[in-house]
Structure 1
């Protein structure tokens, strides 16, 4: 009989490998350095609501599926900063329409449920009256951003059960397009009716994917999955995939790094370049991604009083130019940061279209970023200070590194004719003085990229919240008027770039180099590529 033919080659399965999809369950552990500042969106700045945003949703959100884990259309470095239309997607609202320059109408999703919070409320549907309730709280708050911006919503009206109309007092594209739909998380009216506000985490009730289950000061904020969350992934699977989320509060950087090295945390964002060099040596298995540093270190200059003000005074301009040109930015990058930093010319992310690169600035503005102590000395003489002048440079004590860097700035200023007093104050006092607009000389502001093009808005003599240096310039105000009337996306980008060029022509403030940062995650973490934000 014939023997069977034996093929000693490995059997190849022609069937395609089927993606098993995400694995459900488990708890993700991430790190944070500070305690929650607040839980109530009507009493706390949006940027300080990082612990409550997983609980409470906004009208619109970012389409995270267009990031690295989806179509790859956007790197998701800074998705919340002036997001283009292509990145916005409905959250509580299914669709929306800006009907005129002061009005936006939102059509809410049907079937979204408030979370089940024993003692506060049973689950019920989210409806238009809930949006009205939240926006009336925002508009009535004396500490909310609406209270300090002359352009703000004046009414929120439920047109029917699932339709809301919000009206502005004056045209503002940025408010209608970004601020109103994306910066105001909604909390349950029942919580406010029962407790008066949303300041206690134990009562926090939203519609988001997570619910706060515990908060231990100095330890962690713990979240549990909201099983009634409405959103699905592109394949129709329930979200979130995880059962829990733990934000471990670890103020000390070395302790955070130890937790990352030992696998006690899964994701750590904002790792400095110094720590990244160490981690490459000790834990090469960790995944990482270089990210844009979202915090700009800048020196605000007092535009109300000499020697840096007023804005339009020619001699004050020369002093501001001298203060800029006296700083050896490249020397700071090469020496202080050991090459791990870059020059920025404004408070927008270097990778965004509105960021004006030094090489694209007009000569009068570009010269600010050239280290030219000789010209700085000449400018002070031309401004009427042949014997030099006394100035104050104020910073805070939260970071020894910043104080060290500003010691270098003091030395550079003193070398060209300034007599600089470096004042290092307690953090709370420093920021209180800064926000009061009641300061003189130069003051350090550690400011995010999100200040946007309105950072120097002083139209009709009203200085806006972000214009902390009281810059007042007719050309900038004209640009802001044009921005309010312009609704084309590319035209708005061009106008925003114009505002940054103009601010540099005025030498309105001093931008220090921005150091490189990294996001790290453990090799077992799937579906993550170092994105920033609440994805």
Structure 2
């Protein structure tokens, strides 16, 4: 039985609007009105990606409430994202800042040069970034220096029971880094970043207005670990003092554009505007204090159909992640919606290289060649997806290799040819007309798309005399047999496994997850000396362009070894109502760091009224 949503502030509007929507809406918006928010299909690259944008109109307006949905359908527990990354960080990002952020005003689409689209939630090249809590950064092999921005305040307005409003100090930044490294558990065992425990950090201390991180070596992941990545949110010490309840979100204090105002379980998280937020936005050449809106509401809606209804009836102003299956319906019921199209993380089937038959590279290549990946992509997610987004997607162009630039051997492997695939198996000792071998595919219960994809692979492999047994287990058993088992002990747990976290857009996370022997999500059990040596060397290269060139080369090399059968990515849709201004489809300006994006948006109240909402 689905849990009933008590949506408090939003519920009345949702129910009322659903009733109104059930009646035929005959009001037609004049073309003159739509000219201001007309959907403009822009071909942003040769991949024919249809990004629809609404150009900025007039001067920014202040005030109003913006209701949105980002990623989490469930309530957060504690506000300490250092100890509980998910879903805490989704709810803390309007409140907390990082040291570095993507510079959308200078490099983003429409408002900037358009050099970078800011769709890579897991990594943004440093050349497209600017300082946030740190004014800048200087990196050498033995230290990282962060001059801390002056005049930034911990916005404890209405939270005097926790701490006073006061300036941020370099000592606060040092505290937060120590808290993450020594007490955090979201990204590794406590203390794992210290050199003495195999990491790269020797010490962290404040010196004048700067924070200095002494390092034993250069590690290209420094930004993700301490400046603008997983759990890189900065807290004042007071919010972790004894007696302060970290499960009470009213105790959270930060420097970001918003402050927590109210949390209603199963309903919403409400935020108020931070009146002393440090950042500004440049719009049409003019600099403005932000945020523009007075109130921000995160709608917590577990049921997807309810989410769609909330968007369709304008109870939600912007939704950052809509399944492509609703695209046609939304186009019919709510044609005024502005749509942005991106690609989700790829889905793959890991081929266990410790399995008897799959230890043979030619066998793995034959199995990949026997599957029509494009057809599966379309069947699983509908039209408009891309079956060639693994291991690095086109949203990170500096390390991406288009299909027609791949080596001929890789192109052949990825081209559907069941006749050649069966011939290859014959050459490897599996006579035609006989069952070649039997494989078992492990699946986690409750993932119907993954089950459907595996069933389609089963049918394709039957055509080349390979039998695939689908074994579905509950999530705890699945985790124990995959991520919970060391690589060297997985041989008997499965031959294949459908996996959604092998690939990322950015190269460091994507290549690590899929191919590094120290990574538990390397479910193909890929161990290759050349790849590991080159990849680890790339992490020591300080020049980002040189490093990306190495990532690009080893990504192609590893994929050509055939450890994964990739089905590519579904279309990932983001929708906004046209009265939401100054948003152009960006996903993040850091890892789960989108509060400053929302701070740049404003609500055109007149347009909302004109459209009947």
Separation in 1, partners of 2:269, 2:321: 19
The alignment partner of 2:310 has SS state of helix
Choose which of 428, 435, 447 in structure 2 pairs with 1:399: 447
Contact 1:127 1:161 in 2 (8 A): no
Structure 1 gaps of 5+ residues are 1-18, 310-314
Q: Alpha carbons of 1:151 and 1:83: their partners in 2 closer, same or farther (altered >3 Å)?
A: farther
Relative distance call for 1:69 and 1:123 in structure 2 (3 A) is farther
Q: Does the 8 Å CA contact 2:245/2:251 hold for their aligned counterparts?
A: no
3-state SS, counterpart of residue 324 of structure 1? helix
Query: Counterpart in 2 of 1:43?
Result: 83
Q: More displaced, 375-384 or 477-486? A: 375-384
Q: Cα distance 1:474–1:457, how it changes in 2: closer, same or farther (>3 A)?
A: farther
Does the CA contact (< 8 Å) of 1:155 and 1:166 recur in 2?
yes
Is the CA contact 1:298–1:446 (under 8 Å) kept in the aligned structure 2? Answer: yes
Shift of residue 105, structure 1, vs aligned partner: 0.7
Displacement of 1:246 after TM fit? 0.9
SS at match of 2:580: coil
Which residue pairs with 2:218 in the alignment? 171
Q: For residues 349-364 of structure 1, what are the structure 2 equivalents within 5 Å?
A: 349-353=393-397, 354-364=399-409
The answer to whether 1:126 aligns with 2:180 is no
Q: What SS class does the counterpart of residue 233 from structure 1 fall into?
A: strand
Partner residue in 1 for 2:518: 463
Q: Does 1:302 align with 2:352?
A: yes
1:84-95 matched pairs, under 5 angstroms: 84-95=125-136
Larger RCO, structure (CA 8 Å, separation 6 or more): 2
Instruction: Using the TM superposition, give the Cα deviation of residue 73 of structure 1 relative to its aligned residue in structure 2, in angstroms.
Output: 2.3
Partner residue of 2:295 out of 244, 257, 261: 244
Residue 513 of structure 1: aligned partner: 568
For 1:428 and 1:69, the matched residues in 2 are separated by 45
Partners of 2:554 and 2:94 in 1: how far apart? 34
What's the counterpart of residue 14 of structure 2?
none
135, 156, 172: which one aligns with 2:177? 135
2:464 to 403, 416, 433: 416
Instruction: Report Cα offsets for 1:136-186 as digits up to 9, x if no partner.
Output: 22222473435478863434422424211123443312x234442101001
What is the alpha-carbon distance in structure 2 between the residues aligned to residue 37 and residue 320 of structure 1? Answer: 42
Aligned partner (choices 275, 278, 295) of residue 329 of structure 2: 278
Q: Tell me if structure 2 keeps the 8 A contact 1:29–1:267.
A: yes
User: Are the structure 2 counterparts of residues 480 and 362 from structure 1 closer, same or farther at C-alpha, using a change threshold of 3 Å?
Assistant: same
Separation in structure 1 between the aligned mates of residue 187 and residue 579 of structure 2, nearest angstrom: 41
How many aligned residue pairs are there? Answer: 506
Instruction: State the alpha-carbon separation in 2 of the partners of residues 420 and 102 from structure 1.
Output: 52
Q: Which residue of 2 aligns with 1:443?
A: 497
Counterpart contact for 1:62–1:79, Cα < 8 Å: no
Pick from 408, 414, 417 the counterpart of residue 372 of structure 1: 417
**Aligned-partner Cα distance in 1 for 2:367–2:223:** 37
User: Partners of 2:243 and 2:460 in 1: how far apart?
Assistant: 54
Measured in 2, the distance between the counterparts of 1:28 and 1:327 equals 45
- CA deviation vs aligned residue, 1:339-362 (integer Å, no higher than 9, x gap): 322122523332322122221111
CA contact (8 A) 1:151 1:170 kept: no
Q: Which moved more, 1:325-334 or 1:429-438?
A: 429-438
1:176–1:336 Cα change, 3 Å: closer
TM-score by length of 1: 0.86
Q: Equivalents in 1 of 2:482, 2:421: separation in Å? A: 27
Q: Name the structure 1 match of 2:545.
A: 490
Give the CA RMSD over aligned residues.
2.8
Q: Is the 8 A contact 1:129 1:161 kept in 2?
A: no
Q: CA deviation at 1:385?
A: 4.9
Give the 3-state SS of the residue equivalent to 1:43 in structure 2: coil
Partners of 1:22 and 1:527 lie apart in 2 by 9
Q: Are residues 1:217 and 2:265 paired?
A: yes
CA distance in 1, matches of 2:542, 2:101: 20
SS in 2 for 1:258: helix
Q: Does 2:440 align with 1:426? A: no
Q: What residue is the counterpart of 1:22 in the other structure?
A: 60
Alpha-carbon shift at residue 40 of structure 1 (Å) = 2.0
The correspondence of residues 326-345 of structure 1 with structure 2, limited to 5 A, is 326-345=370-389
Structure 1 distance, partners of 2:333, 2:365, is 45
TM-fit CA distance, 1:466: 4.8
The correspondence for 1:180, drawn from 217, 226, 230, is: 226
Contact 1:266–1:521, Cα closer than 8 Å, also in 2: yes
What CA distance in whole angstroms lies between the structure 1 residues aligned with 2:423 and 2:394? 31
1:97 aligns with 2:138: yes
- Please report how far the alpha carbon of residue 379 of structure 1 lies from its aligned counterpart in structure 2 after TM superposition: 3.6
Deviates more, 1:376-385 or 1:515-524: 376-385
| Cα pair 1:136 1:156 within 8 Å, conserved | no
- Tell whether the 8 Å contact from 2:104 to 2:112 is kept in structure 1 after alignment: no
Contact 1:60 1:182 in 2 (8 A): yes
CA distance in 2, matches of 1:49, 1:283: 31
The Cα shift of 1:97 comes to 0.2
Shift of 1:203: 2.5
Q: Is the 8 A contact 1:290 1:516 kept in 2?
A: yes
Residue 211 of structure 1 aligns to a residue whose secondary structure is strand
1:269 and 1:178, CA in 2 relative to 1: closer, same or farther beyond 3 A?
Answer: same
Distance (Å, rounded) in 1 between the aligned partners of 2:352 and 2:477:
18
Distance 2:346 2:246 in 1: 31
Distance of 1:414 and 1:405 partners within structure 2: 14
Q: Which has the higher mean CA deviation after the structures are superposed, 414-423 or 104-113?
A: 414-423
Equivalent residues of 2:154, 2:236 under 8 A apart? yes
The answer for unaligned runs of 5 or more in structure 2 is: 1-56, 589-593, 598-613
1:517 deviates by 2.6
Q: Deviations over 1:88-126 (max 9, x none)?
A: 11110011100x224211000112111212321112221
Q: Secondary structure at 2:280's aligned position in 1?
A: coil
Which residue of structure 1 aligns with residue 536 of structure 2?
Answer: 481
